[in-house]
Each structure stands twice: as structure tokens, then as C-alpha cells.
Amino acid sequence: MHTTIKGAAFALSTFAVAAAASAQEAANPYVSDDAVIFATLDIGGSGNFTGVIDRETNRMCYILNAAAVDKPTAAHIHSGGPGESGPPVVPLETPADGASGACVTLKADVARALVENPGGYYVNVHNAAYPNGRARAQLRG
């Protein structure tokens, strides 16, 4: 992808969610506390993604800032490591006005994979000029 970054300021929002964990839950890293995943979009645009996954309900609340992407048409979390392209696994609200956010319920296997291996997934924001993705960023935990 060709990289063009327009000057823009982006606010990073974080979610704080408290969860009580029993001793048994604490022994299992998947069901203990909520997991935060995030990414910085810096290829072909600029912005960020922050998501919080509730491990008990598989619900993810997120915010996506991608104001430097001209006329976004779609946004997803895709499976794939650095340099790999993979299919979308979580549709995200299109950041038509530069930002979007929502809470979505994930499939249990997807929630677990995002928590246990965030680097195996990336956020991709698409537009008409770049239907395969204008801004991409690997997730981190």
C-alpha cells in the first residue's frame, strides 16, 4: 500500500471495565479479567483502535479512529500475522466521520483467539480507492 499520512490529531479512548474473579477463574487466564487489545493505524492513514473484551460474555466494546482515511467504506478485524492477509473475523462500524465505536458479541472461539494471540489479527480500514485496505495495524494485547 502507498502511504500518505495527513496531519491529524487522534484521541485514544480506553474503556475501564471491572470484573470480579474467583480463585478458580484466576487460574484460567482466559476467564480472569477483561482483556484490552489495541493497535495504531499508521500505514496509509493514521489513527488507532482500542477494544476491551469481557471474557465471560465474549462482548467487545471498541473505538476506532481513522480520520486520515479518505471516505472509509468498511472496517474489520482480520485474521493474519504481520505481512499476512486473512479473512475478516469481526466486522466493525465504518468510521464514516473519522471515528466509530460499538459493543459487539463475538463468537467464543474468536474472543479467545483475540485474547490469547492478538498479534495474529489486524484491524483494516477500507475505502473505494483501496478496497483491500487503506490503513492496517496489527493488534497487541
Range of lowest pLDDT (13-17, 21-25, 45-49): 13-17
What confidence category does residue 25 fall into, taking pLDDT thresholds of 50, 70 and 90? Answer: very low
What confidence category does residue 35 fall into, taking pLDDT thresholds of 50, 70 and 90? Answer: confident
Point out which residues pair with 37 in neighbouring strands. 51
pLDDT at residue 39 in the model: 86
Range of lowest pLDDT (5-9, 28-32, 95-99): 5-9
Per-residue pLDDT of 66-118, as tens digits, reads 988 999 999 999 999 999 999 999 999 999 999 999 999 999 999 999 999 99
Which residues, including other chains, have CB under 8 Å from residue 141's CB and lie 6 or more apart? 35, 36, 37, 115, 118, 119
pLDDT at residue 42 in the model: 66
Total residue count of the chain as it appears in this document: 141
What confidence category does residue 129 fall into, taking pLDDT thresholds of 50, 70 and 90? Answer: very high
Extract the C-alpha cell encoding 132.
Answer: 483491500
Per-residue pLDDT of 36-64, as tens digits, reads 888 888 655 578 999 999 999 999 999 99
Q: How far is CA 110 from each of CA 60, 77, 134, rounded to the nearest angstrom? A: 11, 10, 24
Q: Quote the CA–CA distance of 37 and 65 in Å, as a whole number.
A: 14
According to DSSP, the β-strands at 88-92 and 72-79 are antiparallel
Domains of the chain: 44-138 (2.60.40)
Of the chain, the end-to-end C-alpha distance in Å amounts to 25
pLDDT at residue 86 in the model: 97
